[in-house]
Structure 1
């Protein structure tokens, strides 16, 4: 099962066009997938006091967190899709990591840090206005090794569409072809 974590609030965005390209390909190939649309689901990325009270126990009280954990348990592949804002991911995606990838679910401290998820393939798809090289320190040097590999979300590939708003339609169409070729 492929799980797509979609982190863009506007369904008229280029990010949504990327999502539609991927899901259309999967449907044509009868490939099983599920989408976590954080904004559409109404996911709250902030901890409430009650949530934080059980955080150190590896527990969650938000029904969406529990739903997302079940979805991830059944995933062999994951695709993260988000715009780069202020050099990093949107707050809603950071909140997903904070609240969903809990101790006892995504990692263990018992015998040193141990990843618990077993996701064999990962694709990170981002959009930005600046050149992708600008964001390499965050995505390739921090996000992938420290936030993905550390919990067992493995074998990551990063694709970035730069100049998303100011570029040409041809450039965006070429990127959609690149994405379609990359998701197999």
Structure 2
């Protein structure tokens, strides 16, 4: 079965990100994906890694207990789609906290012969759908951390042959209605071919 976990990270229902999120979910479902729509804000996900969790971080098995539901959800997925804005050249805190708390040893990576190896081999497709307030040039000059983390670090945790898409609308602060519509159309087409 084609099962996609959609991680959505924006607090405002009226945001452009909400329109992007709705487009992603609608198009995936229209193309026979079983969508696990994980709206981190609506679900009240706590991004805070507690002292207790940090102390038990490497204790494989018990380290997943505080976030067991999310671990099971990501292990069931064949695809991961993240919908989020880029704030201060990074992920919203709630999404960063998801990675800190859920992508723990034994879930997203493990040690094999002294080397870190990805463990989410069930994930065969990944898409990041995002907006930046600044231009692509500005993001590039800053190193574009969100793009690099998705395209490099996240790539190391999933199936080695997984397909990756990074769909970004840069310069959102000055985006016109036409720019936003073009981005939604691109997302629509990409999710139809996902």
Contact kept, 8 Å, 1:14 with 1:164, in 2: the verdict is no
Offset of residue 91 of structure 1? 1.1
Residues in 2 aligned to 1:25 and 1:57: alpha-carbon distance in whole angstroms: 39
What are the ranges of 5 or more consecutive residues in structure 2 without an aligned counterpart? Answer: none
RMSD between superposed Cα atoms in Å: 1.7
TM-score by length of 2: 0.86
Paired position in structure 2 for 1:171: 179
Q: Secondary structure at the match of 1:19?
A: helix
Listed as ranges, the matches of 1:3-18 within 5 Å are 3-18=5-20
Q: How far apart, CA to CA, are the structure 1 residues paired with 2:150 and 2:8?
A: 16
Distance 2:5 2:99 in 1: 15
Match of 1:30, SS state, is coil
Instruction: Verify: 1:145 aligned to 2:158, yes or no.
Output: no
Structure 1 distance, partners of 2:43, 2:52, is: 21
1:160 to 168, 178, 181: 168
1:165 Cα deviation after fit:
4.2
Structure 1, gaps ≥5 residues long: none
Task: Quote the Cα distance in structure 2 between the aligned partners of 1:52 and 1:156.
Answer: 30
Task: Give the secondary-structure state (helix, strand or coil) at the position aligned to 1:60.
Answer: helix
- Number of aligned residues: 181
Provide the residue aligned with 2:68 in structure 1.
66
Counterpart-to-counterpart distance in 2, 1:11 and 1:163: 21
Instruction: Give the superposition deviation at 1:37.
Output: 1.0
Once the two structures are superposed, what CA deviation does each residue of 1:106-157 show, in whole Å capped at 9, x if it has no partner?
11113211111011111111111211343343134344212x1121164321
Show the 5 A alignment for 1:74-153: 74-111=76-113, 112-118=115-121, 119-136=123-140, 137=143, 138-146=145-153, 148-152=154-158
Moved over 6 A (4+): none
Question: For 2:138 and 2:92, how far apart are their aligned partners in 1?
Answer: 17
